[in-house]
Structure 1
Amino acid sequence: MIKILVAGFKGKMGATATKMVLEHDDFELVGVLDPFEDNTNLKQMAEYPEIDVPIFKQKEDVLSVEPDVWIDFTIPKVAYENTRFAIDHKIAPVVGTTGLTEEQLVELTARSESVKIGGLIAPNFAVGAVLMMQFAQKAAEYFPDVEIIELHHDNKLDAPSGTAIKTAEMMSEVRTHKKKGHPEEQELIKGARGADFEGMKIHSVRLPGMIAHQQVQFGGVGEGLTIRHDSYDRSSFMTGVALGCKKVVQLEKLVYGLENLL
């Protein structure tokens, strides 16, 4: 039985993860974390009337329940601090919060290696999204003309999304460098052509009603190729989160991307 703590349990992703842990036969929910929650136990909340699990306001207090895995769906600044804390106390982090910097990822990976604790930071936990990124990387070998359109709900804090950045990074490993657009093109409104990542354009859409969607659009002479993934419900991410929780306890370092565990 893997003992799990969920940080950010009141958010939409955190709440979905909490329910997944409660319903999974191999997991035991030993605590949840939210610094702004007044209740001290889940059973005090209408959503969990029969669940006797402590609610912690300070991360230091979670050590009393000795979790094996720390699931984190918070915000970038908090997620970085939480992940560093978890690693230092030999709790394997499974982090779905995006927006961590490259420097933070390098530091956290090195820190995990020094204490030999596994962990996972993933920009997307949907298995279909991971396959989409791998298919896009393969296509980029043959189609250097490519742009990414990612679409998310209007409460998402970071843009571009972690998935879009990860996709662009993977494609850049195999893609012949080429700057998109006409050499003399001009933006009549700044930002109209999107963000630039090594010559590829990334466009971020934020609208209510959406969950998480990404389209990788390739163009060639007389043809086009579209690779798209849609998450219509946050439950689509839970297969990957559950897989991460099972796998990280067997690792001795932090990895970035769910594809490393498939």
Structure 2
Amino acid sequence: MTKKIIIAGPRGKMGNEAVHMVDGDTSFELVACIDRTNGGKQMKDIEGLPTLQIPIYEDPEACFQEIDADVFIDLTVPGAGFEHTKLALLYGIHPVVGTSGFSDDQLEALRDLSMTHGTGCIIAPNFAVGAVLMMQFAKTAAKYLPDAEIIEKHHDQKLDAPSGTAVKTAAMMQETRESKQQGHPEEKETLEGARGAETDGIHIHSVRLPGLVAHQEVLFGGPGQGLTIRHDSYNRASFMEGVKLCVQKVTDLDRLVYGLENILD
């Protein structure tokens, strides 16, 4: 059965990639988009997007009220993404969300809403299958090499730091890693922030530079040895197979799932 899809942020780099992915898949039908500046227009009126007669809404609630859809894809920014996802759940539309930067309280609120309405929702800090494997390998390694640091690198337009992928990686590592503080007990930063952020003793460093897309390495150290697990996304097409998989599976769920690894076979 064809899945009817609404996409938020079609002019963004990730949203634009998602529009082309949906338009190119015969099992999907793009039925509307949400955009903050082009309400009332058709997609064909917007430069850089496919020449389709797809309505554009500025008001997400009006979109969800008027458009019959199965799935809502949001790849925007945390503030808008949270509000969009809440509304989609209220209207019984299954969200697939790649927006990172949600707080624990926001995730819990969405989890409760999803369960209350029995509407499946997938939130994935990273849609690249290779990145998910990197996180799983890091979780395994952390059991044996608990001294570890994370370096994540993204383009300079990313709003949240550290990235959702880095936060998720650290959380997965904590499931197997013995909790410990790393480095010298009398270590002192001569320049504030030099050691990055810290969670349960794991330091996380964020790099933001033009030319980057999404990159992360997890560095492990032990007596006489080191291990580096790294993943690189060179362009945004790397995320689309994960988005497609989530769209295919989210309508079979009745609760919120956080992390692509939880739906991989």
Question: Please, what TM-score do these two structures have when normalized by structure 2?
Answer: 0.97
Moved over 3 A (4+): none
In the alignment, which residue of structure 2 is the partner of 1:107?
109
In the alignment, which residue of structure 1 is the partner of 2:166?
164
In the alignment, which residue of structure 1 is the partner of 2:177?
175
In the alignment, which residue of structure 2 is the partner of 1:236?
238
Among candidates 84, 87, 90, match of residue 86 of structure 2: 84
Determine the C-alpha separation between the residues in 1 that align with 2:122 and 2:19.
17
Amino acid at match of 1:56: Y
Pairing of 1:61-210 with structure 2 (within 5 A): 61-62=62-63, 63-210=65-212
* CA contact 2:40–2:57 (8 Å) conserved in 1: no
1:62-120, CA deviations, whole angstroms, 9 ceiling, x for partnerless residues?
Answer: 13221110100111111111000000000000000111000110111111111110010
* CA contact 1:39–1:45 (8 Å) conserved in 2: no
Determine the C-alpha separation between the residues in 2 that align with 1:138 and 1:250.
29
Determine the C-alpha separation between the residues in 1 that align with 2:169 and 2:193.
20
- Cα offset, 1:244, TM superposition: 0.4
- Cα offset, 1:49, TM superposition: 5.7
1:21 aligns with 2:11: no
Determine the C-alpha separation between the residues in 2 that align with 1:46 and 1:101.
34
Identity of aligned residues (%): 54
In the alignment, which residue of structure 2 is the partner of 1:255?
257
Determine the C-alpha separation between the residues in 1 that align with 2:139 and 2:50.
46
Structure 2: segments with no counterpart, 5+ residues:
none
Determine the C-alpha separation between the residues in 1 that align with 2:189 and 2:48.
49
Question: Please, what TM-score do these two structures have when normalized by structure 1?
Answer: 0.98
Determine the C-alpha separation between the residues in 2 that align with 1:97 and 1:183.
37
In the alignment, which residue of structure 1 is the partner of 2:9?
8
- Cα offset, 1:25, TM superposition: 1.4
